[in-house]
């Protein structure tokens, strides 16, 4: 016997953010270096389980608190999280994404979220209403 099917979730990762929020980072020294979000997107793409899709996006407009991700899914609240470090927070993002996927409406109780998600939530966006029947 199996449990209820989990609806898919999408993890958007901003690949535009510079490393300005990381301790000791000086992004202007090497403009050709991979941006933190690109590094994070690659690491997550190789590690996330089935049912969570990683999508690299050019900008989530959270530049002052980048590296930034957003979790969304059909009929779910969308959450935006920032101040991530691609070298330190891969497991945190995976944990948060798994909890999000398991919540049918996307509302993971605050105390059940990874600590970084509790302290670095940028926005919570309600789901789109269903289209009226013709």
Q: Collapse the DSSP code of 78 into the 3-class scheme (helix H, G, I; strand E, B; otherwise coil) and give the result.
A: strand
Q: What is the pLDDT of residues 48-107, one digit of tens each?
A: 888 999 999 999 999 888 899 999 999 999 999 999 999 999 999 999 999 999 999 999
Q: What are phi and psi of 19, to 5 degrees?
A: -85, 20
Fold of 11-125: Glutaredoxin (3.40.30)
Q: Can you tell me which residue has the tokens 């070298």?
A: 87
Q: Can you tell me which residue has the tokens 């901003």?
A: 14
pLDDT at 17 over 70: yes
**Pairing relation of β-strands 69-72 and 121-125?**
unpaired
Question: How far apart are the C-alpha atoms of 59 and 48, rounded to whole Å?
Answer: 21
**Pairing relation of β-strands 9-14 and 52-57?**
parallel
DSSP 3-state percent helix, strand, coil across the chain (nearest 5): 30, 20, 50
Extents of the domains making up the chain = 11-125
pTM for this structure? 0.84
Question: How far apart are the C-alpha atoms of 103 and 38, rounded to whole Å?
Answer: 27
Q: Collapse the DSSP code of 95 into the 3-class scheme (helix H, G, I; strand E, B; otherwise coil) and give the result.
A: helix
pLDDT at 3: 45
């Amino acid at each position: 016997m199996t449990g209820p099917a989990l609806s898919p979730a999408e993890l958007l990762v901003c690949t535009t953010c510079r490393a300005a929020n990381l301790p000791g980072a000086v992004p202007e020294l090497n403009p050709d270096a991979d941006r933190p979000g690109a590094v994070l997107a690659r690491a997550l793409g190789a590690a996330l389980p089935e049912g969570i899709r990683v999508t690299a996006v050019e900008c989530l407009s959270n530049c002052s608190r980048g590296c930034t991700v957003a979790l969304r899914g059909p009929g779910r609240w969308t959450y935006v999280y920032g101040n991530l470090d691609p070298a330190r927070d891969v497991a945190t993002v995976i944990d948060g994404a798994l909890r999000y996927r398991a919540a049918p409406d996307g509302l993971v109780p605050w105390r059940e979220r990874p600590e970084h998600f509790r302290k670095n939530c940028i926005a919570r966006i309600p789901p789109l209403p269903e289209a009226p029947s013709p």
